[in-house]
Structure 1
Amino acid sequence: MTVEYGPLTVGDADRCAELEAQLFPGDDPWPAVAFIRELDSAHNHYVAAREDGELVGYAGVSRLGRRPPFEYEVHTIGVDPRCQGRGIGRVLLERLLDIADGGIVFLEVRTDNAAAIALYESVGFSVMGVRKRYYRVSGADAYTMRRDAQKATGGGVR
């Protein structure tokens, strides 16, 4: 099956919330309304992965600041558990980095999420510090990670 990538839409909010509940059950998963609010912001950019028309992954990044050079923050990346391990998360992350167009990018990730940490490190993120009890419900800690500015390619997705 072929995975197609494109924009996340408001119509995807319920499916995103369904996936969030599966992926982050002990960490305050986002409800559909949170995705709708995120998509409504001009500074946020969300991408979707679809297989046979079904949403199987999503990711979002926010542009920070009013003037260039901008910094960016990854808000979320989620892939249907049935589809994990196939590179979908990597492609979604690459799409977010294209949107950031070479800027500095930050994110938080659970300190026990080895697969995500390895993915982020493989594209140039490094750990800056730890946010204790970052995830309110579970009390889990998060690493704050940063990817330094890359040479802009001029071909970022907007």
Structure 2
Amino acid sequence: MSAEPSSFLSVIRPMRDADISAVLQVEQAAYDYPWTANIFRDCLRMGYDCAVQLAADRVVGHLILSVGAGEAHVLNLAVSPAWHNRGFGRRLLRRALRQAERLGAESVFLEVRPSNAAAVHLYRVEGFRRVGRRRHYYPAPDGREDALVMRLDLRETSRSGRR
């Protein structure tokens, strides 16, 4: 994309069933092992916090957040590669953190591929810390890849006023 960030309107709004085909395009562009339409439909049906990032009148990113029992879990966050390095992933993540806090979560967890250096960097900069590893969590071309488990304590970040 050659448009400067200031030349288009960027909006995050709740995901709708009608967004699923556009969300799938982002998912398939962003990941070698994308979620299916049925998984996104199930997330909507289950009442997870599902959001889309719009720019230039199209879906360019999405987020799925589950909240319950004082914890939140970022289940999926993706931005179309054509729209990387414009702050969309950071905006989606910060929206997730605000929603988690608003819904009573004290901690937010996520899994990330160690090979996804950009995502690991984003999460660390936003205050997430590694708390574990899930062995053989993700499919990979040569078998399975571990996942880093990361956690953010919202009580700490709220007091520091980071967001």
* TM-score exceeds 0.5: yes
2:55 alignment partner in structure 1: 51
Distance in 2 separating the partners of 1:49 and 1:37: 20
Cross-structure match for 2:3: none
Instruction: Give secondary structure in 2 for the equivalent of 1:13.
Output: helix
Contact 1:13–1:33, Cα closer than 8 Å, also in 2: no
Structure 1 runs not aligned, ≥5 long: 154-158
**Corresponding residue for residue 78 of structure 1:** 78
- Structure 2 residue ranges without an equivalent (≥5): 1-7
Alignment match of 2:35 (pick from 27, 30, 33): 30
- Corresponding residue number in structure 1 for 2:153: 148
Residue 9 (1) aligns with residue 13 (2)? no
List, as ranges, runs of 4+ consecutive aligned residues in structure 1 with deviation greater than 4 Å: none
Distance in 1 separating the partners of 2:139 and 2:78: 19
Q: CA deviation at 1:8?
A: 1.1
User: Does residue 1:133 correspond to 2:136, yes or no?
Assistant: yes
Q: How many residues align?
A: 146
Structure 1 vs Structure 2 CA RMSD: 1.6
Higher relative contact order (CA 8 A, sep 6+): 1
Task: Tell me the alpha carbon deviations over residues 127-152 of structure 1, each in whole angstroms, 9 at most, x when there is no partner.
Answer: 01111211135411110001113266
SS in 1 for 2:136: coil
Q: What's 1:156 paired with? A: none
- 1:18 CA drift (Å): 1.8
Aligned twin of 1:106:
109
Q: Distance in 2 between matches of 1:150 and 1:115?
A: 25
CA apart distance, 1:32: 1.2
Which is worse superposed, 136-145 or 77-86?
Answer: 136-145
CA-CA distance at 1:64 after TM superposition: 2.4
Q: Which has the higher helix share?
A: 2
SS at 2:115 equivalent: coil
Report the more deviating stretch, 50-59 or 143-152: 143-152
Percent identity (aligned): 32
Task: Please give the secondary structure, in 1, of the residue aligned with 2:41.
Answer: helix
Q: Deviations over 1:45-97 (max 9, x none)?
A: 011111132100101110123xxxx1000001110111000000000000000
1:39 corresponds to which of 40, 44, 47: 44
Native 8 Å contact 1:47 1:95 kept in 2 = no
Q: Which amino acid aligns with 2:74?
A: V
